[in-house]
Amino acid sequence: MNKTNPELIELVKNLKQKSREENVNIWRDIAYRLEKPLRVWPEVNLSRIERYAVDSDVIVVPGKVLGAGTITKRVTVSAFKFSTEAKEKIESAGGKVLTIKELMAINPKGKGVRIFG
């Protein structure tokens, strides 16, 4: 991995460690996706989350969430980055915005987590 962002390097290390500790593959999968070049990271619009998510879903985007579109569902969205507009729209719809690290602490087994992107 040739990443220079210390926050990202630490996150990937923590994801792999949590995957080994809890014997759960979802965290390793997300770490693998974050190790890829930035140009292939997914950028997911809120309209896509609105289309495919169900109320109370827990969603992880191993990339960035963008604010295009509207969202009415109360979902928990976790990503490496969020646009400010996306954060505002998710929270105003009654959803939660978390970092991947926060989600890992809340849900170490990764139960019910869906990967978008």
Q: What are the pLDDT digits (tens) for 68-90?
A: 999 999 999 999 999 999 999 99
- Taking the alpha carbons of 89, 10, 32, 1 in that order, is the dihedral positive or negative? positive
Q: What pLDDT score does 1 carry?
A: 59
pLDDT of 109 above 90 = yes
pTM: 0.93
pLDDT of 3 above 90 = no
Average pLDDT value over all residues in the chain: 96
| Residues of the domain holding 31 | 6-115
Give me the CATH number covering residue 109.
3.100.10.10
Report which of 5, 65, 8 is spatially closest to residue 31, judged by C-alpha positions. 8
Asked if 77 contacts 56 with a C-beta cutoff of 8 angstroms, the reply is no
* Residue 44 DSSP SS3: strand
How many domains are contained in the chain? 1
- In a domain, residue 10? The reply is yes
